[in-house]
């Protein structure tokens, strides 16, 4: 091995330009976030085999969906040829903010809906006028 980390005489030199995909980071991120459980992000990147597996398992029961979303947001998601997505640096901050806001809204709406399920069970007997009594 040479000092650069490449085996001597093998592969491209360490200062070679990195191959960039013709696929969009924004499209991949939106597919991974909104339709990732169906494998649409994998199909978009040209990874048909794993896209079918992801579709059949509904995003690996949610785990694979979350992992692909994190990989996309971290900027390490690649297309079928192993090329990085080109516009990651431009859009990474807004993608993280929108994703965090979406998860925050999901948590907030889940908490609020739990409260509205709990309240009628606990206070319903004290309010005979409440619908459903």
What's the pLDDT at 120?
Answer: 66
pLDDT-derived band of residue 130, with 50, 70 and 90 as boundaries? low
What's the pLDDT at 18?
Answer: 72
First to last CA, the chain: 77
Compute the mean pLDDT over every residue in the chain, rounded to the nearest whole number.
84
Tokens of 54: 């992801």
Cα 23 from Cα 7, distance rounded (Å): 30
pLDDT digits (tens, 9 = 90+) for 66-119: 999 999 999 999 999 989 998 999 999 999 999 999 999 999 999 998 887 777
pLDDT digits (tens, 9 = 90+) for 21-75: 889 999 999 999 999 999 999 999 999 999 999 999 999 999 999 999 999 999 9
Task: Tell the burial category of 23 from Cβ atoms under 10 Å away from its Cβ (0-12, 13-18, 19+).
Answer: buried
Cα separations (Å) of 38 from 51, 87, 91, 92, 127? Answer: 8, 24, 24, 23, 45
């Amino acid at each position: 091995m040479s000092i650069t980390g490449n085996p001597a005489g093998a592969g491209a030199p360490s200062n070679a330009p990195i191959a960039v995909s013709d696929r969009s980071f924004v499209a991949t991120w939106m597919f991974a976030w909104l339709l990732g459980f169906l494998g649409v992000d994998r199909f978009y990147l040209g990874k048909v085999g794993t896209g079918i597996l992801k579709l059949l398992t509904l995003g690996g029961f949610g785990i694979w969906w979350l992992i692909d979303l994190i990989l996309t947001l971290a900027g390490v998601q690649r297309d079928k040829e192993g090329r990085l997505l080109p516009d990651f640096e431009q859009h990474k901050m807004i993608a993280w903010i929108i994703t965090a806001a979406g998860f925050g809204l999901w948590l907030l709406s889940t908490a609020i809906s739990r409260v509205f399920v709990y309240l009628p069970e606990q206070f319903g007997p004290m309010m005979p006028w409440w619908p459903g009594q």
